[in-house]
Chain A
Amino acid sequence: MSGEHDHELGFWRKYVFSIDHKVIGIQYTITALLFLLFGFTLMMVMRFQLAYPGTEIPFLAKIFGEGNMPGGLMLPEFYNQLGAMHGTIMVFLGVVPLAVGGFGNYVMPLQIGAPDMAFPRLNMASYWVYFLGGVIMLGSFFLPSGAAQSGWTSYPPLSNINPGQTAWLFGMVFLITSSLLGSVNFIVTIIQLRAEGLTFFRLPFFVWAQLVTAFLLLLAFPPLEAAGVLQLMDRLAGTSFFMPSGLVVSNQVLDIAGEGNPLLWQHLFWFLAHPEVYVLILPAMGIVAEILANNTRKPLWGYRSLVYATIFLGFMSFIVWAHHMFMTGMGTTMSAFFQTTTMIISVPSVIILTAMVISLWGASIRYTVPMLFAIAFLPMFAIGGLTGLPLGLTASDIHLHDTYYVIGHFHFVVAPGTLMALFGGIYYWFPKVTGRLMNNMLGKLHFWGTLIFMNVVFMPMFLQGMHSVSRRLYDQTVYEHGKDVQDLTIASSWGAWCLGIAQIPFIINFFASIFAGKKVGSNPWDATTLEWAAPSPPPHGNFETEPVVYRGPYEYSPPEDPTGFSPQNKAPA
């Protein structure tokens, strides 16, 4: 039945300009994975300069051009471009599109028993707008001005006077628009299109995570868009929103009106970028919850408190932004407020993590590859979260602010944290998408390599930061304290390169399994949520018959069911 319908669509409508949420989800996933690889490559190049400053690698001059790396020696402006673009690409083009655009698009409608997203054309538009934003960001490397080089945070006045920023701003406008379209679509779909019987408290936790994430994107991104418009005006129309009076660059007074405020940008930027942290982490928690419940073979502990904690987290994330700005000359009242909210927001994170760990109690844990990634997420995220504490308190932040400690902290949240969960999600839902399993052996190799080397990369950063090495330094050995811990930098760099090698099994596994993976039925993991009730891969329209839901999402090992699990749509006896 659906086959006939598909035949009517040509190649372009079916695979390129498709309005099917599954195809769009796959497009997002592939594009985001490529961007992740690209962003990671930029970092591996940077790590060479960091580990062996001033060493020439002649063949890199051929790749990046003599203008950027004369004779293979990286110039500081190119280093700054790589740094700014690594951050931008990883956050806005890699992790968020993978977690929300990829997993959200593919899995969420299936989990709620919907035939598609509420607005399929809008869904296609949001992918292509994202794609264009990515093209602009990548293309900016080839412009005469080069890519943005003022950090992913783009603090003015530096970003107002630095080359390359205009393309970055245009790229961001596209990415923001894409996120806004996507988030409207997600919220409407979750609220309107749930299958019969699927009440809010029967939703899989992943869907909850996507719902809160979508609200964060919807409400937090517009202020950054506003900030982007103001910065574009500063750069193109000669305004001075972010430029105070009397600026002197290279001993020349700038011809501007002045009276602007550089901190205005920081407020608008962090009003987005703090919720953005939760946009990065919530879908990952959702994925981990799914995999944990499935592989512990028991219901999640404290499902309701997980949901309440997530909503509370989403709400609180709007009022902690200025803890990124403690060093901007903040007085005691404002810092007291933001320190307090920051400490409060750590509580729901603790609740979520605790609930997930207690879910292990009384389980029968299957150590499948997705489960390994999900388990590793827990301690890695714990490290990331705990090291946020000294940064959230002003007094300890004095020493640690803008050092490698910060880099270590948020990378532990996003890389060994979120990325581990996303890898787990790929292994977990791969059989749904392709009808085939990924190879177990290669998966385990990928897991151990990734886990070990991620720690080798990011652990030394805490010590470097403690030891007062600033972030974003082209060459830390100009400082005495930088020289002291240069061996840590070298270790971290080797870790990064080995981490790159550790991804090779994954790449092989991913592509080979599409064609040669072991064929499995529609529910290889004996899972309960609705996506496993659809065929693998699901046809256009997803379900053969409209699913009806009778119970909560994680009815594993119920005493009354001899099969060991009761899918949500299984009619009660």
Chain B
Amino acid sequence: MSSAEIKYIDKPHPLTGVTNAKLGIWLFLASEVMLFGALFSAYVLLRVGATSWPRGSDELNVPLATLNTIVLITSSVTMVMSWASLKLDNFGKFRRYMGMTIALSLAFLVIKTFEYTPKFSHYEVFLNDKTSVRGHLGEKHEDHILFTPDPEKDGEHAGVHPEEMRIERSDIRRLTNFGPRHSNFFALYFTLTGLHGLHIIGGIVVNTWLMFPGSAMWKTQRERFTGRVECAGLYWHFVDLVWIFLFPLLYLL
């Protein structure tokens, strides 16, 4: 049965210098680059063709996103530490660092949820006279809606909460919350960060598996297991890197 064994599972190929898994993960990341590259191109094309484009910092929560950036970068560091611990034959430390990585990625998702939720209850009413009002939706009736506009940001009434107002349906051109359907900016924001969030979830699943059931391999095939953690790490750094691109693109520019 010697011929039936697949080579280079734990030892690198003498010519390519990598194991199968490592080459595989690099190829997978190449395809991921194409995926996000296509979405970034879509962003550029839509933004160039748009009549107006909001400043990300006016629309999105920059402090929360900054916090998330720190969380994610830290998780990349702990990911490296967990792999390094395996290299140093310290399985206990591996688990501790891996646990921290998973906790930080969960924290990222929780913060993301805090960022997402208010957008769905915050509305904008586009009126027939080409103006628009932002605020919170009250009762909805057949012929009109009740609407509480946001306080003004600057000017003499800054910070004062206006009264609830009545808007006739016949005056409304479009009523939408700040979800994906609001505009291409928010559509891209939700699509890009949502897809990135899915990648985070994927990473959490893989890392949790490696931390618990998958780590049984440590007892039998140390090198192979260390290789797996390294591949998971490469993936995790990539997800981190995508965020490093997303953050300025969506929140700052």
A touches B (Cβ under 8 A): yes
Query: Which chain A residues have a beta carbon within 8 Å of chain B's beta carbons?
Result: 1-2, 5, 114-116, 118-120, 122, 180, 183-185, 187-188, 191-193, 218-223, 225-227, 229-230, 233, 237-241, 255-257, 259-261, 264, 267-268, 271, 540-546
Q: How far is the CB of B150 from chain A (nearest CB, A)?
A: 20
User: How close is A169's CB to chain B, nearest CB, in angstroms?
Assistant: 14
Give chain B residues whose Cβ lies under 8 Å from the Cβ of A187.
Answer: 23, 27
User: By the criterion CB–CB under 8 Å, are A268 and B46 in contact?
Assistant: no
Chain B, Cβ-Cβ closest to A223 = B38
Cross-chain contact B46 with A237 (CB below 8 angstroms): no
Contact across chains for B6 and A116 when beta carbons are under 8 A apart = yes
The interface residues of chain B lying within 8 Å CB-to-CB of A119 are 20-21, 24
Pair A259/B50 contact, Cβ less than 8 Å: yes
Give A221's nearest chain B residue, CB to CB. Answer: B31
Query: Smallest CB–CB gap between A275 and chain B, Å?
Result: 11
Complex-state Cα separation, A325 to B190, whole angstroms: 29
Pick the contact of A192 from B4, B16, B42, B45 — CB < 8 Å? B16
A124 to B217, CA, bound (A): 21
The residue among B2, B6, B7, B184 with the most chain A CB atoms within 10 A of its own CB is: B6
Interface SS, A side = helix
The answer on a CB contact under 8 Å between B183 and A541 is no
**Please, how many angstroms separate the alpha-carbon atoms of A116 and B1 in the complex?**
13
- Assuming the A-B contacts A222-B34, A259-B49, are A115 and B5 also in contact, with contact meaning beta carbons closer than 8 angstroms in the complex? yes
Interface centre among B4, B37, B174 (most CB of A within 10 A): B4
Chain A residue nearest in CB terms to B51? A259
Smallest CB separation, A129 vs chain B (Å): 15
- Bound-state CA distance A226–B191 (Å) is 10
- Total chain B interface residues with beta-carbon distance under 8 A: 43
- With A and B bound together, what is the CA distance between A240 and B188 in angstroms? 10
Q: Mark B4-37, 1 if CB is under 8 A from A, else 0.
A: 1111100001001000110110011011101111
Q: What is the CB-to-nearest-CB distance from B47 to chain A, in angstroms, rounded to a whole number? A: 10
User: Contacts of A114 on B, CB cut-off 8 Å?
Assistant: 6
CB distance from B31 to the nearest CB of A (A): 5
Contacting A184 at CB < 8 Å: which of B27, B39, B49, B183? B27
Query: B5 to chain A: which residues have CB within 8 Å?
Result: 115
Q: Answer yes or no: B182 CB below 8 A from chain A CBs.
A: yes
A196 to B27, CA, bound (A): 24
Asked, given contacts A257-B176, A257-B182, A259-B50, whether A233 binds B35 with beta carbons under 8 Å apart, the answer is no
Asked if B46 contacts A233 (CB within 8 A), the reply is no
CA of A192 to CA of B38, assembled, Å: 30
Q: Does B166 contact A (CB under 8 A)?
A: no
Distance in Å: Cβ of A328 to nearest Cβ of chain B = 14
- Distance, CA A118 to CA B181, complexed state (A): 44
Between A and B, 7 residue pairs with Cβ closer than 8 Å are A191-B16, A225-B35, A229-B191, A239-B184, A259-B184, A541-B3, A541-B4
Task: Given A191-B23, A238-B180, A257-B181, decide whether A219 and B42 contact each other with a Cβ distance below 8 A.
Answer: no
Chain B residues, CB < 8 A from A115: 3-6
Counting CB contacts under 8 A, is B179 at the interface?
A: yes
| Contact assessment for A226 and B30 in the assembled complex, using a CB-CB cutoff below 8 Å | no
A457 to B1, CA, bound (A): 51
Tell me, yes or no, whether B187 is within 8 Å of chain A by CB.
Answer: yes
Q: Is B241 an interface residue (CB 8 A)?
A: no
Q: A188-B24, A237-B179, A239-B191 in contact; A230/B184 too (CB < 8 A)?
A: no
Contact status of A192 and B46, CB under 8 A, knowing A241-B184, A545-B3: no
B20 x A192 contact (CB < 8 A): yes
Whether the pair B34, A193 counts as a contact (CB closer than 8 A) is: no
Q: Are A192 and B7 in contact, with the CB atoms below 8 A?
A: yes
Given contacts A220-B34, A264-B42, 6 further A-B contacts (CB under 8 A): A122-B24, A180-B28, A188-B24, A192-B13, A222-B37, A239-B181
| B195 CB within 8 Å of chain A | yes
Q: How far is the CB of A231 from chain B (nearest CB, A)?
A: 11
CA distance A122 to B20 in the complex (A): 12
Q: In the complex, A120→B5 CA distance in Å?
A: 11
Shortest Cβ gap from B126 to chain A (Å):
9
| List of A residues within 8 angstroms of B38 by Cβ | 222-223, 225-227, 268, 271
Complex CA gap A188/B9 in Å reads 11
- Chain A residues positioned under 8 Å from B20 (CB to CB): 118-119, 188, 192-193
CA distance A239 to B6 in the complex (A): 47
B3 touches A261 (CB 8 A): no
A264–B23 contact, CB under 8 A?
no
- Chain A contacts for B50, CB-based, 8 A: 259
Task: Let me know if B6 and A261 touch, CB within 8 A.
Answer: no
Which B residues form the contact surface with A (CB < 8 A)? 1-8, 13, 16, 20-21, 23-24, 27-28, 30-32, 34-39, 42, 45-46, 49-51, 174, 176, 179-184, 187, 190-191, 195
Contacts of A256 in B (CB 8 A): 181
Return A199 CB to nearest CB of chain B, in Å: 10
Q: In the complex, what's the smallest C-beta–C-beta distance from A483 to chain B, in angstroms? A: 42
The answer to whether A222 touches B24, judged by C-beta atoms less than 8 angstroms apart, is no
For A545, the chain B residues whose CB sits under 8 A away are 3
A219 engages B184 (CB within 8 Å)? no
Residue contact A184 to B32, C-beta cutoff 8 Å: no
B residues near A183, Cβ cutoff 8 Å:
27, 31
Q: How far is the CA of A460 from the CA of B45 in the complex (A)?
A: 41
Contacting residue for B3 out of A185, A241, A259, A546, CB 8 A: A546
Name, among A120, A183, A191, the residue most crowded by chain B CB atoms within 10 Å (CB to CB). Answer: A191
**Which of A226, A257, A540 is the one whose CB lies under 8 Å from B35?**
A226
What's the nearest-Cβ distance from chain B to residue A71, in Å? 42
- Give the CA-CA distance A119 to B227 in the complex, in Å: 14
Chain B residues with Cβ below 8 Å from A544 are: 3
Are B24's CB and A261's CB within 8 A? no
| B27 nearest CB across to chain A (Å) | 5
Task: List B contacts of A264 (CB < 8 A).
Answer: 42, 45-46
A375 to chain B, nearest CB (A): 36
CB contacts (< 8 Å) of B30 on chain A: these are 218-219
- Knowing A115-B5, A261-B46 are in contact, say whether A192-B187 is a contact too (CB < 8 A): no
CB B233 to nearest CB in A, in angstroms, measures 18
Q: Is the CB of A223 within 8 A of B1?
A: no
B28 partner residues in chain A, CB cutoff 8 A: 180, 184
Establish whether residues A218 and B31, one from each chain, have CB atoms under 8 Å apart when the complex forms.
yes
Q: Is the CB of A241 within 8 A of B4?
A: no
Tell me, in angstroms, the Cα distance from A220 to B24 when the chains sit together. 17
The minimal Cβ–Cβ distance linking A135 to chain B, given in whole angstroms, is 23
| A414 to B6 Cα, complex, angstroms | 35
Say which residue of B6, B8, B31, B191 sits within 8 Å of A230 (CB atoms): B191
Q: What's the least CB distance linking B54 to chain A, in Å?
A: 12
Q: A233-B180, A239-B180 are in contact. Are A185 and B31 (CB under 8 A)?
A: no
Specify the chain B residue showing the minimal Cβ separation from A547.
B3
A119-B20, A259-B183 are contacts. A5–B3 as well, Cβ < 8 Å? no
Bound-complex Cα distance A242 to B154 (A): 36
> Which residues in A have their C-beta under 8 angstroms from that of B42?
226, 230, 241, 264, 268
Instruction: Return chain B residues, CB-CB under 8 Å to A220.
Output: 34
CB nearest to B182 among chain A residues: A257
The 5 tightest CB contacts between A and B, nearest first, are A541-B4, A238-B181, A239-B187, A222-B35, A223-B38
Which chain A positions have C-beta within 8 A of B34?
218-220, 222-223
Q: How far is the CB of A131 from chain B (nearest CB, A)?
A: 21
Tell me the complex Cα distance, A569–B191, Å.
Answer: 53
**Most B C-beta atoms less than 10 A away, residue of A185, A220, A256, A264:** A264
Closest to A217 in B: B31
